[in-house]
Structure 1
Amino acid sequence: MTFPPLREELRGLEPYGAPQLDVPVQLNVNENPYGPSPACVADIATAVAHAATTLNRYPDREFVELRGALASYLSRDTPHGIAPEQVWAANGSNEVMLQLLQAFGGPGRSAMSFAPTYSMYPEYARDSVTEWVQGRREDDFSIDLDAAAALVREKRPAVVLLPSPNNPTGTALPPEAVGALCEAAGEGLVVVDEAYGEFRRTGVPSALELLPTYRNLVVTRTMSKAFAAAGLRLGYLAADPAICDAIRVVRLPYHLSAVTQATALAALRHAPELLGKVDELRAERDDTVAWLRAQGHQVADSDANFALFGTFPDRHAVWQGLLDRGVLIREVGPEGWLRVSIGTADEMKTFKQALTEVTEEKS
């Protein structure tokens, strides 16, 4: 056996990670460019200081207060309301997804999504020893509902992962697609990943509205994006209480620290402020999409805080040309496409100028 005794299917693989480079304009990981206010920072500091007085004790492993606060926040997006026992949280929606596959995937079971989609999904499947099944999206990145439902009925996955808005394309799913796939999945779970849900365009509903109808539906969210709290690492889901109870079997003991819980609760107290820039970012996104199209680029319709655009014969050269001008975007998605996160008005102005220079140089 070769040292270290790594699982054979993991040998030679590179860990996930976007480039972390110190450049003036960072538009590559879909962060919210607007940080918390001094008042929010002060509240977080006070809450953490209080939590620090009890760090000799384990935190509330059921994070009851936080589940209640998250339920209240989510209830704003559905007329049916969300109860605390329907909520689960972990260290980022990444850990939420991994826990779902640890609980409901595993050897002899499969997970499914439709490419192009979030590149971590097959890694969650790999890490939980779950077979990965991948369908395809249409050329406009929508999902052919009949074909998708047929594939789900054929493969019978234990978990179907449906980001809405999709990453890296920004495409949102209509409610009828979610419902049809929940029905096709039978007893399997359908996980609608709404990491960018707060950025969806007016009139695009949240899958939270469908929870009372489909017991196998799970809706995930994060505080990393709209809440401007990527450094907090807090993701969560809403689902049938039986699903939340099942996840408790696989979670690590005391997986949410007292500091994490205190910080998240303080951030939720400032939700109106932290979400206050969402409308501004939506408008900047729409302006960016319109500008890119006016320059002759293809751009996917986006309900997220980013735009996927292309296509380029050598996208890496375009990416590098932008980086040389101090603008970092993401080389991700289908061949020939690039993704830009939506930043401040000044950052987007710099991006547009840099892209104009690079494309003129390459033409």
Structure 2
Amino acid sequence: MPDTPVTDLPLRADLVGQQPYGAPQLDVPHLLNVNENPYSPPPEVIEDIAASVAAVGGSLNRYPDRDFRDLRADLAAYLERESAATGLTADHVWAANGSNEVMLHLLQAFGGPGRTVMSFAPTYSMYPEYARDSLTTWVAGTRREDHSLDPEATIAHIEQVRPAVVLLASPNNPTGTALPLADVHAIARACATTGPDGAATVLVIDEAYAEFRRSGTPSALTVLADYPHLAVARTMSKAFALAGARVGYLAAAPRLVDCLRIVRLPYHLSAVTQAVARAALRHTDALQAQVAQLRTERDACVSWLRERGFTVAETDANFALFGPFEDRHAVWQGLLDRGVLIRETGPQQFLRVSIGTEAEMAAFRGALKEVTGR
């Protein structure tokens, strides 16, 4: 039988004509488009992961621990070491299949029909899709020309819109811009009374790239205890080199975490996923051994691009946004033709390159010189 045309199915009206999210997945030598860690997990980590998965293999006929408290305790301990936050326990942590699912849980719990979520563009392109999928109204404010936030203008816009949720990425994607801690304080104080019916606005600081931030750039985790409506999201995809494992998490006040438990699907985090994540956390130092090297490659890439006259956003992440180009797609295609895949995203006329190994960055520089003549 032929496939039934989508037009003959009762697809939601707001989804008609929409395409699934996704960056190009192409088989090329140099993959620098989705901000992956270019280094594979070391052999000893792979061995521990394999042994940990094998250990739970005999019980896969049973549902996993639906509250995964051991993993949450391990994540809390890691966050305290990494960020200098204090007082974090399993009750302060939530996890899901990638930070995408964490964000969806947040909007399922606090968004919905008649409510609004807002952020400030340019920012992560999935945010409006979380809003759409949870039937939450999406509102996008703007940033300064250098992609930083103007705290006073940001607060004024939040007070005007009165959203249920505000999503702020720090470092921001696709620009790499970090949010100063003073701004987190100011925005969090304002959000205490700007939500629906006089409640708080849930302020989410998305720190997916936090481990790559430059020295002296603090985490919002250090002020978590001051704001019961603040949540700080993280992922194991980037610094832990576990993009294929799909583990994201957040830290927040236990009351906020309990709200997310209401909307999660039963047993949403598999026993295999829990085992992989806990094994990886036992090898944090080994998995993050190259983070400092990636910071060095990033800073070298930014300097090289600026020396050739490109405008490059200040970045605390493992990528760089650069341009402008009269025809960015032609540049993107020229790089692809030379085996280098980067990303068309963010402001028009700009491109984003993920930071790879020394050899991958050399290939990127060589291809860009050929394509642009710079």
1:1-363, aligned counterparts within 5 Å?
2-76=7-81, 77-186=83-192, 187-360=200-373
* Runs ≥4 residues deviating over 4 A: none
Q: Report deviation, 1:182.
A: 1.1
* Contact 2:228–2:256 (8 Å) recurs in 1: no
* Contact 2:176–2:313 (8 Å) recurs in 1: yes
Structure 2 gaps, min length 5: 1-5, 193-199
Structure 1 gaps, min length 5: none
**Aligned equivalents of 2:330, 2:85: Cα separation in 1:** 48
* Contact 1:66–1:265 (8 Å) recurs in 2: yes
Q: Deviations over 1:304-360 (max 9, x none)?
A: 000000000000000000000000000000000000000000000000000000002
**Aligned equivalents of 2:346, 2:257: Cα separation in 1:** 32
**Aligned equivalents of 2:142, 2:121: Cα separation in 1:** 5
CA 271–132 in structure 1, closer or farther in 2 if over 3 Å, else same? same
**Aligned equivalents of 1:38, 1:19: Cα separation in 2:** 29
**Aligned equivalents of 2:123, 2:175: Cα separation in 1:** 8
Q: Give the letter for the 1:204 counterpart.
A: T
Identity score, percent = 64
DSSP-derived class of the 2:166 partner: strand
Q: Give the letter for the 2:79 counterpart.
A: L
CA 240–321 in structure 1, closer or farther in 2 if over 3 Å, else same? same
Q: Give the letter for the 2:71 counterpart.
A: L
**Aligned equivalents of 1:316, 1:93: Cα separation in 2:** 29
* Contact 2:80–2:88 (8 Å) recurs in 1: yes
Q: Deviations over 1:144-175 (max 9, x none)?
A: 11110001111111000000000000000001
CA 80–31 in structure 1, closer or farther in 2 if over 3 Å, else same? same
**Aligned equivalents of 1:212, 1:257: Cα separation in 2:** 30
Q: Give the letter for the 1:3 counterpart.
A: D
Q: Give the letter for the 1:65 counterpart.
A: D
DSSP-derived class of the 2:8 partner: coil
Q: Give the letter for the 1:210 counterpart.
A: V
**Aligned equivalents of 2:88, 2:234: Cα separation in 1:** 13
Q: Report deviation, 1:214.
A: 1.1
**Aligned equivalents of 2:171, 2:260: Cα separation in 1:** 25
Q: Report deviation, 1:2.
A: 4.4
Q: Deviations over 1:74-118 (max 9, x none)?
A: 011124231110000000000000000000000111000000000
**Aligned equivalents of 1:267, 1:37: Cα separation in 2:** 11
Q: Report deviation, 1:31.
A: 0.2
DSSP-derived class of the 1:88 partner: strand
Q: Deviations over 1:197-249 (max 9, x none)?
A: 00000000000001111111100000000000000000000000001111111
* Contact 2:121–2:141 (8 Å) recurs in 1: yes
Q: Give the letter for the 2:256 counterpart.
A: I
Q: Give the letter for the 1:81 counterpart.
A: G
TM-score of the superposition, structure 2-length normalised?
Answer: 0.95
DSSP-derived class of the 2:226 partner: coil
**Aligned equivalents of 1:146, 1:52: Cα separation in 2:** 54
CA 46–147 in structure 1, closer or farther in 2 if over 3 Å, else same? same
DSSP-derived class of the 2:168 partner: strand
**Aligned equivalents of 1:53, 1:271: Cα separation in 2:** 27
CA 192–4 in structure 1, closer or farther in 2 if over 3 Å, else same? same
TM-score of the superposition, structure 1-length normalised?
Answer: 0.98
